[in-house]
Structure 1
Amino acid sequence: MIRALLVFFILVSTTIFSQKKLNLIPYPQKVQINEGNFTIPDIIMLNSDLPKEETEYLKKKLGSNLKFQNSGKSEADLVYSQLPKSTNLQQNDEFYLLEISSKQILIKSYTKQGYFLELQTLIQLFEDHKTDKQIPALKIEDQPKFAWRGMHLDVCRHFFTVEEVKQYIDYLAMYKLNTFHWHLTDDQGWRIEIKKYPKLTQIGSKRKESMIGAYVDNTFDGKPYGPYFYTQDQIKDVVKYAMDRHITVVPEIEMPGHALAALAAYPELACTKRPFEPATKWGVFDDVFCPKDETFKFLENVLDEVIALFPSQYIHIGGDECPKTRWKECAHCQELIKKNNLKDEHGLQSYFIHRIEKYVNKKGRKIIGWDEILEGGLAPNAAVMSWTGVNGGIEAAKSKHFAVMTPGSFCYFDHYQGDPQSEPNAFGGFTPLDKVYSYNPIPTELNAEQAKYILGVQANLWTEYIEDFKQVQYMIFPRLMALSEVGWGTSDPKNYKEFEGRVINEFKVLDKMNVNYAKSIYNVSGKVIPNNNGVSYELSTSQNPSGIRYTLDGTDPTANSQAYQNPIPVSKSMTIKSAYFENGQLKSAISSQQFTTSKTTGKNITLEQQPSENYSFGGAFTLIDGIIGNQRQLGKTWLGFQGKDVVATIDLGNKTQFSEIYFNTLENKGSWIHMAKSAQIFVSDDNKNFKMIKEIGKDEIQNAKGKIKLNVGNQNSKYIKIKIENAGIIPAGNAGADSKAWLFVDEIGAN
């Protein structure tokens, strides 16, 4: 089927016979606009051949504005015809054909699933033309490029009711996503009833308090959380609700890591003999499932009940962020490594995943896991969900394993989507709407044959900083719309502004539904760009740019402030505030950007090693753009390097005098972020022969709390090289022990 999807997409390009696109998301593969219009009547006459359950969904969605009545085929406004079984390899079960004339709407599909997708297109057309009641005559031939178009929801860090989960599923259905990944177990809470093990929900579904605010604040609310979980009857209800909308629910039961809630209930499944409690902090913890027979029997019994509840082909078994500290210290684990001739603890993780996979396969199902399940060798029939970047998906596809692409840099909706200073607290990163829209799930490193193993794309919503469902809505909208078009295969980054217009048009539907969507695209956004003398600040908005007003003195802009015309030169330290005004009225949040300039600002910079994909916004230029990173927000002003040193060379252009070098780093051990081990400063006049002029160690960096200012004496050089040494492998006793530490660095300046 994947091959058919790819062939279809290559051969059938989006064709438009009108100058203006229809307001549809995701946009169809092939659209033909014809002469005339279908006039929407007050009563829609329905042909009796329409599939019943899906048609009831249509009535519910449009029933507030229209009435429906059954009729014969000839006088019906809406007529359905089931297509004969396809012999066309370019079409699949989700294919549909929609033809609208001045007299009638004809809808065709091979399956009820295709019909349901067709209804989403029809609903959007009705909503968009409910005022003028004139839908243009047209012909749409359509199907998605990717078989897996998913959204994930973490209900462990914060819990959401059955009704809220159903609303979430409705959002997926509206935009033709077909997979709901339900993250049901983690360190902070076990959310699914397992009848054989009642203590999982009696103990594991609650915690004594929760972390609040930025992680670096290390503060807690002091309020018990839970017990919160879903009964098996509630699970069945949600699964049926999703199935009625042709959405597959994929459950995730985390193993071998992220297991504290389970160990709190059944501590005998751990490597150490001590009591545990569900985690109150966010992050990664050393205590994981011990790979002993008792644990596997427990997990098999849990999976028996899970498989009985979820008919999905895939069962997600997590597999990510499993520290090896306890396994290294565990006599049983070390004996198991020797007995099975495993290379090390990573091999033990592979043994663990292989054993679980064999059991799941016996039940007629397959496993999927985060890309760490590649450690030590991938289980024979496993699929990979590639989150740390694209490499996991590439490795899986090249070894003929299916993969779902969900890299954090494009698909993590717990990241900021607008200026972090004007957004609610988020996990970190910067993933605005246009970045999501720009994603291509097929890595360029794959050839056509390997690309067949890319099942599709998914976005993830982790809820450490999302306390209620209104915030869930805020974080997924409008980014879910971009994801839907990426998954459908009709996104085109070159036409982003046109897509943005369709998004804004769709806001009226979300308003009607009382959805708390983010309005970040209305805000003025800023981009630092180099100029001959340093940097300039370029402002933009989704609205008419003539409405942008700004100030340079730190005061809030008004309708009478300076009108923006060209990028603003930043020749000295200053604060630029900007906002969008319409008819003299403020229409956006006020954006504020503080600049701290130095002799490195805007100069040429090169990095010997590039930052990790998730934290690479702006590339090396971020380190000399004049913006000091906020240590409480891992937004767009930081570069993150996992297991890598930062080696940056700055070309000042001419020999320049300076006596101070500064840079910023930070520490957040719960997220595996550690202070640098050391730093060295070098100078050169030819970019070949460098002389070290300063060196500091970890203690000095720690004492400075990451805000490093170094007196380097009177220097007069053209090149500055700075080497900031990564902490390396995280030591035992820390979250993520035995894994590569993260090093976060920002602004490198000279005065």
Structure 2
Amino acid sequence: MKRFLLAFSLLISSLFFTQTRLNLIPYPQKVEFLSGEFIIPKNFKLDTVLPKEETEYLKKNVNYLEFSTRTKKERPNLIFWQLVGHREKYILIVSSENITITSGSEQGYFLALQTLIQLFEQYKDSGKIPAMKIEDEPKFAWRGMHLDVCRHFFTVEEVKQYIDYLAMYKLNTFHWHLTDDQGWRIEIKKYPKLTEVGAKRKESMIGAYVDNTFDGKPYGPYFYTQEQIKEVVKYAQDRHITVVPEIEMPGHALAALSAYPELACTKGPFEAATKWGVFDDVFCPKDETFNFLENVLDEVMTLFPSQYIHIGGDECPKTRWKECAHCQELIKKNKLKDEHGLQSYFIHRIEKYVNSKGRKIIGWDEILEGGLAPNAAVMSWTGVNGGIEAAKSNHFAVMTPGSYCYFDHYQGDPATEPNAFGGFTPLEKVYSYNPIPSELNAEQAKYILGVQANLWTEYILDFKQVQYMIFPRLFALSEVGWGTSDPKNYKEFEGRVINQFKILDKMNVNSAKSIYNVLGKVIPNNNGVSYELSTSQNPNGIRYTLDETEPNANSQTYQNPIPVSKSMTIKSAYFENGQLKSAISSQQFTTSKTTGKTITLEQQPSENYSFGGAFTLADGIVGNVKQLGKTWLGFQGKDVVATIDFGNKTQFSEVYFNTLENKGSWIHRAKSAQIFVSDDGTNFKMIKEIGKDEIVNAKGKIKLNVGNQNSKYIKIKIENAGIIPAGNPGADSKAWLFVDEIGAN
């Protein structure tokens, strides 16, 4: 009897698990399972009143079924549609007789179809779908993906594929980045030289930025004709996706200035940028420039019916404006405080024009400089503060912080990934994001329109790599934007991701499989650090080596975190049935007397470059100068002041740390560094000081002889370069200071 009860219990548990785990992304707000099941017929009858475009979409994406339109007398095996409710809300009922969709619009019906298509995919092999009722609607009105086509260009067909991916996972906004320093990609009939001259560059930067190498190959001219733009906009509209165009101003203007140099503060000549980064030559705020931009925007607004027009507004150096007599006179005439006030004047003037056409502007959070234009919305990318500031002043904001939403960052071990911009944004981190900042109250939170991820393409050479960078992170973004993500249940979400890979594989999508790889995490222990390994698969499949050899199926099986008591290299991989199923990950450790010790920072790193926090500086891992992945901390305009507690008085005679230099990305060597010691953590004595020349000569790898020391605490102050001087990219902006391991021996 006990054996029977146990078997019955296991059967019920199995059935419950099967019925409660739907392989849907984004997961619906509410799922209720009903009794019975719907047998999927070979010939599927559709209600005669179903919207045509959406129904054709259904037929195309469930192409293993035959579809026909029912006659009035036919009742079974139908999909019905009832027009009731809110615009994006839908109710999907699967019964033993038919499938009914209730929605407030064709958009709601289209969203329901995405759910239904995924249900067909999950249950097609069994031939029957459990009866259920799904009540669903998104939390956020703006659920977006961005694509930069300026650094590298993508064809109309590729852009359509990109839009298809958004539609499949219920995103509703496509942010099309059409102009930048490296290329102007949209035909403007009034200004043909924008595409004749500005849509090409003489060569392109290749490899990591620090390599400073170029391919020597002309790029372009590449651009979209106005007819192609209309085609893409219509394609998106058919999938209920709004296309928001971005026309960059006042910075990121070199491609435009190469065609029309009279719009600059200096005479030029100019050319479209061949390097990545930020450049001093920007639009000059004179009547001629505003007349040009208004004419451009007129044609843009004719092509794009979106409520918002994105005007950029980011990374605008003030160098040329400071040196420009016209700009200085404009500052005096309008009683502006400084060049930041001039930026605000520029944005206000553009907004007034766009508003006069019945549209609104949205821009990156630098449009907050000098005061936000009256009706502008903010796209918060440098962190969350721009969105917070906007919402608190009753302005709408879209949250897209780089630390969570930049898909040009690495998503796995940088050593096993294609070259990327930097940063480290794995799937789990995207999934953990909450677009509503905790600093906002309920009323202020209403101004958060939603969430968006951005794909900048400096290092993305073709569409296969576009696919690699957005998948599977787009899945996480989808669920965050829908409002059903739950970081506590990340592993359950990961299981649904793996099931979605089957769909992408059938579509020949080159998705990243980084989640199959073995992940390493450094954790402190009593004697230093240990290396904890994990995988989305069965952890018993992890094999590792400590002797520099590649792991194989017979290598040591991972069971517990691996102690790191000396400098060593740990290589790991996941095996299944004796076969290698992942990339081989390799982590080198360089230990010292600070490794694993308690470390505190007086000022915290930038949100975009804060992975691991202060402990990153004492985890035994030295950063790779070509990869700003997860082993560097970045500080913009801030000094690094780090205090390390040895725990006991400790003897040492050498202190080392590393910094980066990459002026094109505003990263500068430190101005100075000082070393202090203390026995009580309060009273510190300086024992060493070096200046910029020594740091530069050491090429950022600083090793200092500090004499024989014996102390409980060590403090290191590394001084930021401050404001970037004229003649450098990003002049007049705050410099970045990147630091990694701080060691003592």
* TM-score, structure 1 as length reference: 0.96
Residue aligned with 1:502, SS: helix
1:686 matches 2:685: no
Deviation at 1:677, TM superposition (A): 0.3
Once the two structures are superposed, residues 233-264 of structure 1 have per-residue CA deviations (whole angstroms, 9 ceiling, x without a partner) of: 00000000000000000000000000000000
What amino acid maps onto 2:25 in structure 1? I
> Aligned ranges for residues 151-300 of structure 1 at < 5 Å?
151-300=145-294
Once the two structures are superposed, residues 112-170 of structure 1 have per-residue CA deviations (whole angstroms, 9 ceiling, x without a partner) of: 00000000000000011121111110000000000000000000000000000000000
Aligned to 2:52: 52
Are residues 306 and 316 of structure 1, via their aligned partners in 2, closer, same or farther at CA, if it must alter by over 3 Å?
Answer: same
Contact kept, 8 Å, 1:263 with 1:269, in 2: the verdict is yes
In 1, Cα distance between the equivalents of 2:670 and 2:52? 63
> Aligned ranges for residues 661-700 of structure 1 at < 5 Å?
661-700=655-694
RMSD (Å) for aligned C-alpha atoms = 0.9
Deviation at 1:426, TM superposition (A): 0.3
What amino acid maps onto 1:39 in structure 2? I
- How many residues matched? 729
Contact kept, 8 Å, 1:418 with 1:432, in 2: the verdict is yes
> Aligned ranges for residues 317-396 of structure 1 at < 5 Å?
317-396=311-390
Q: Which runs of 5+ in 1 are unaligned?
A: 1-15, 87-91
In 2, Cα distance between the equivalents of 1:325 and 1:442? 36
Deviation at 1:553, TM superposition (A): 1.0
Contact kept, 8 Å, 2:140 with 2:450, in 1: the verdict is yes
Once the two structures are superposed, residues 282-330 of structure 1 have per-residue CA deviations (whole angstroms, 9 ceiling, x without a partner) of: 0000000000000000000000000000000000000000000000000
Contact kept, 8 Å, 1:18 with 1:33, in 2: the verdict is no
Deviation at 1:82, TM superposition (A): 2.6
Find 2:120's aligned residue among 126, 129, 139. 126
Once the two structures are superposed, residues 676-702 of structure 1 have per-residue CA deviations (whole angstroms, 9 ceiling, x without a partner) of: 000000001011111111101111100
Deviation at 1:80, TM superposition (A): 2.6
Deviation at 1:76, TM superposition (A): 4.6
Moved over 6 A (4+): 16-19
Are residues 17 and 657 of structure 1, via their aligned partners in 2, closer, same or farther at CA, if it must alter by over 3 Å?
Answer: closer
Contact kept, 8 Å, 1:46 with 1:76, in 2: the verdict is no
Contact kept, 8 Å, 2:139 with 2:483, in 1: the verdict is yes
Contact kept, 8 Å, 2:424 with 2:611, in 1: the verdict is yes
In 2, Cα distance between the equivalents of 1:288 and 1:71? 61
In 1, Cα distance between the equivalents of 2:740 and 2:730? 23
Contact kept, 8 Å, 1:193 with 1:232, in 2: the verdict is yes
In 1, Cα distance between the equivalents of 2:53 and 2:579? 47
Contact kept, 8 Å, 2:19 with 2:33, in 1: the verdict is no
Once the two structures are superposed, residues 2-27 of structure 1 have per-residue CA deviations (whole angstroms, 9 ceiling, x without a partner) of: xxxxxxxxxxxxxx997632100000
In 2, Cα distance between the equivalents of 1:345 and 1:205? 30
Aligned to 1:66: 65
Residue aligned with 2:151, SS: coil
> Aligned ranges for residues 633-648 of structure 1 at < 5 Å?
633-648=627-642
In 2, Cα distance between the equivalents of 1:453 and 1:702? 46
Residue aligned with 1:308, SS: helix
In 2, Cα distance between the equivalents of 1:409 and 1:156? 22
Contact kept, 8 Å, 1:194 with 1:305, in 2: the verdict is yes
Find 1:444's aligned residue among 428, 438, 441. 438
Aligned to 2:6: none
> Aligned ranges for residues 239-638 of structure 1 at < 5 Å?
239-638=233-632
* TM-score, structure 2 as length reference: 0.97
> Aligned ranges for residues 91-102 of structure 1 at < 5 Å?
92-102=86-96
Contact kept, 8 Å, 1:44 with 1:78, in 2: the verdict is yes
What amino acid maps onto 1:111 in structure 2? S
Q: Which runs of 5+ in 2 are unaligned?
A: 1-15
Contact kept, 8 Å, 1:17 with 1:32, in 2: the verdict is no
In 2, Cα distance between the equivalents of 1:287 and 1:254? 13
Deviation at 1:36, TM superposition (A): 1.7
Deviation at 1:673, TM superposition (A): 0.4
Aligned to 1:12: none
What amino acid maps onto 2:104 in structure 1? Y
Contact kept, 8 Å, 2:724 with 2:732, in 1: the verdict is yes
Stretch moving more, 235-244 or 41-50: 41-50
Find 1:702's aligned residue among 692, 696, 706. 696
Aligned to 1:8: none
In 2, Cα distance between the equivalents of 1:76 and 1:400? 52
In 2, Cα distance between the equivalents of 1:76 and 1:47? 11
In 2, Cα distance between the equivalents of 1:699 and 1:41? 77
Aligned to 1:11: none
In 2, Cα distance between the equivalents of 1:666 and 1:247? 41
Aligned to 2:21: 21
Residue aligned with 1:351, SS: helix
In 2, Cα distance between the equivalents of 1:240 and 1:707? 54
Stretch moving more, 122-131 or 193-202: 122-131
Contact kept, 8 Å, 1:439 with 1:486, in 2: the verdict is yes
